Structure 1
Amino acid sequence: MRAIWKGSVAFGLVNVPVKLYSATEDHDIPLHQVHDKDGGRIRYQRKCEACGRIIDYEHIDKAYVEDDATVVLSSKELAGLPAERSREIEIVEFVPSAQLDPIMLDRSYYLEPDSTSPKAYVLLRRTLESTELTAIVRFALRQKTRLGALRVRDKALMLQSLLWDDEIRTPEFPALSTRVNLSSKELEMSSALVSSFASDFEPSQYTDEYQLQLRKLIDERLKTGTTVDTAATFGEEEQQGGDVIDLMDALRRSIEKNKTTKGRGKGTAAKVPARSSRKKAQKGA
């Protein structure tokens, strides 16, 4: 795993240096879009609607629209906000774990000790374990001020970002206000059905059947040779604006173009050394 953030946990006057790692990963097989007729790649471009040019990430800012006015905010301005500059996970209170509604849980992260001595880290971990409480924290990550829950999992401190209260919608469905009469027999039968399914939850017993079948389908296509040449899916001509092109193809065409240009100027085409000759020349150098 690679750390995505470095900072510290502020536990009163105790400072715990930590590294932040994503605790989950996506196991889905990556797929991209292609033209159904020829298999050519279909890409999404960062195209400016004002000038029509394809824009590099370094020239992209953020903006907020309100009515007919747009406020443009540069990366430098956003990075200058106090909350974004903070590298501290501040513990603000400890609450009973049962008070955390699961709907509030967002992303999960592991915290690794980032000091020569993990004593402060272990102290905080054991404190959480002994009190059976969850620490509510405030922190900043990826240009957002966040609320989080700090708890222990497999001897590691786990930070789970929480949704803000105003980000959770209230279910307002007309059917929920309709009066429904249920008999005691119906409730009894429903409880019996639940009991028949009751067991201990073991996540390892469940698998993603869709991904398994998708992998099987891909393997069968690869085995039978029912495929398209990957280089051909990029097309013959590079377009302006940073489209991804095949490097070897670009080098080959550059050599051909250079040969043609020299041939026109001197009357003879430039000779390209054979591969074995080039290797010998490189060794000699």
Structure 2
Amino acid sequence: MRAIWKGALTFGLVNVPVKVYAATEDHDVSLHQVHAADGGRIRYQRICELDGEVVPYADIDRAYDDGERTVVLTKEDFAALPAERSREIEVVEFVPSDQLDPLLFESSYFLEPDGTSPKAYALLRETLQRTDRTAIVRFSLRQKTRLAALRVRGDVLTLQTMRWADEIRDAAFPALDEPVKISDKELELSAALVEGFAADFDPAAFTDEYQAELRTLIDAKLAKGDTLDTAETFGEREEETGGEVIDLMEALRASVERSRKARAAEG
């Protein structure tokens, strides 16, 4: 892995030198666009609207337009911002972990101790574990001020960047304002259904079926040396149709019964 950021975690008067690494990676098959008629590669160019010239990425700046005037911001302008120059991840507060709405979370990063002694790193890690709290931190990365949750995963400190509160939309659905009567029997059957599917979560047990099928299709085309009908690779599939409206109690009973039979067969 290659570090994307170097700086220090500041925890009161404690300074913890760290390197930041992306904790996740994209496993999607890489595809590009082609001309359907002849398979020719489609490429995009950055064209200046004033002179019609192709502009190299290195010569591109950014700008803000208020509708009447345009302000051009150079790379030097961004680099001069105080927040951008800061190389600190500042611990702002420690909060109960259950107060953090999952909708706030964005990207995840690993923090590696950077220095001759990992003692300060270990101190902060042990403090988080013993207090059972999450540290809210603030730092700058890629021309943005970030808010993040600092947690412990195994022996490693992790950062999960967070959206700002005003970036979370309100969920206002009129249908949820209508009173709904749920009987004790329906709740009982629903709870039984949940129990029938109860398990300990193992993320390794789940795979990206679409990407696996896509790779199978690509491998088949490569092996055949020509195009082929998708059905030759995956077999015929029934066309999906809209589900009919069914009785909730019957659906719950059927689901519970099917779950019980499946459990009995496994046992």
Q: Which residue of 2 aligns with 1:92?
A: 92
Letter aligned with residue 87 of structure 2: R
- Distance, in Å, in 2 between the alignment partners of 1:39 and 1:169 is 42
- Distance, in Å, in 1 between the alignment partners of 2:175 and 2:45 is 44
1:217-256 alignment, distance < 5 Å: 217-226=217-226
Q: Which residue of 1 aligns with 2:240?
A: none
Q: Which residue of 1 aligns with 2:201?
A: 201
- 1:93-119 CA deviation, whole Å, 9 max, x = no partner? 111111111111110000001101111
Q: Which residue of 2 aligns with 1:170?
A: 170
Cα displacement (A) at 1:129: 1.1
Letter aligned with residue 42 of structure 2: I
- 1:235-264 CA deviation, whole Å, 9 max, x = no partner? xxxxxxxxxxxxxxxxxxxxxxxxxxxxxx
- List alignment gaps of at least 5 residues for structure 2: 228-267
Q: Which residue of 1 aligns with 2:120?
A: 120
- 1:196-252 CA deviation, whole Å, 9 max, x = no partner? 11111010110011111111111111112228xxxxxxxxxxxxxxxxxxxxxxxxx
Letter aligned with residue 135 of structure 1: A
Cα displacement (A) at 1:176: 2.1
Radius of gyration: which is bigger? 1
Letter aligned with residue 13 of structure 2: L
Letter aligned with residue 107 of structure 2: R
1:261-276 alignment, distance < 5 Å: none
State whether structure 2 residue 71 is matched by structure 1 residue 48: no
- Distance, in Å, in 1 between the alignment partners of 2:186 and 2:44 is 54
- 1:1-54 CA deviation, whole Å, 9 max, x = no partner? 000110000011111100000000000010000011111111222122222211
Cα displacement (A) at 1:180: 2.1
- List alignment gaps of at least 5 residues for structure 1: 228-285
CA RMSD of aligned residues (A): 1.2
Q: Which residue of 1 aligns with 2:150?
A: 150
Q: Which residue of 2 aligns with 1:105?
A: 105
| SS, match of residue 160 in structure 2 | strand
Cα displacement (A) at 1:58: 1.6
Letter aligned with residue 39 of structure 2: G
- Distance, in Å, in 1 between the alignment partners of 2:156 and 2:191 is 38
Letter aligned with residue 137 of structure 1: V
Identity of aligned pairs, percent? 64
Structure 1: which 4+ aligned runs deviate by more than 3 Å? Answer: none
Q: Which residue of 2 aligns with 1:36?
A: 36
- Distance, in Å, in 2 between the alignment partners of 1:104 and 1:215 is 33
Letter aligned with residue 174 of structure 2: P
Q: Which residue of 2 aligns with 1:60?
A: 60
Equivalenced residue count is 227
Query: So what's the TM-score if we normalise by structure 1?
Result: 0.77
- Distance, in Å, in 1 between the alignment partners of 2:54 and 2:86 is 34
Query: So what's the TM-score if we normalise by structure 2?
Result: 0.82
Q: Which residue of 2 aligns with 1:270?
A: none
Letter aligned with residue 131 of structure 2: T
- Distance, in Å, in 2 between the alignment partners of 1:57 and 1:137 is 33
- 1:60-97 CA deviation, whole Å, 9 max, x = no partner? 11112223322221111011111111110000111111
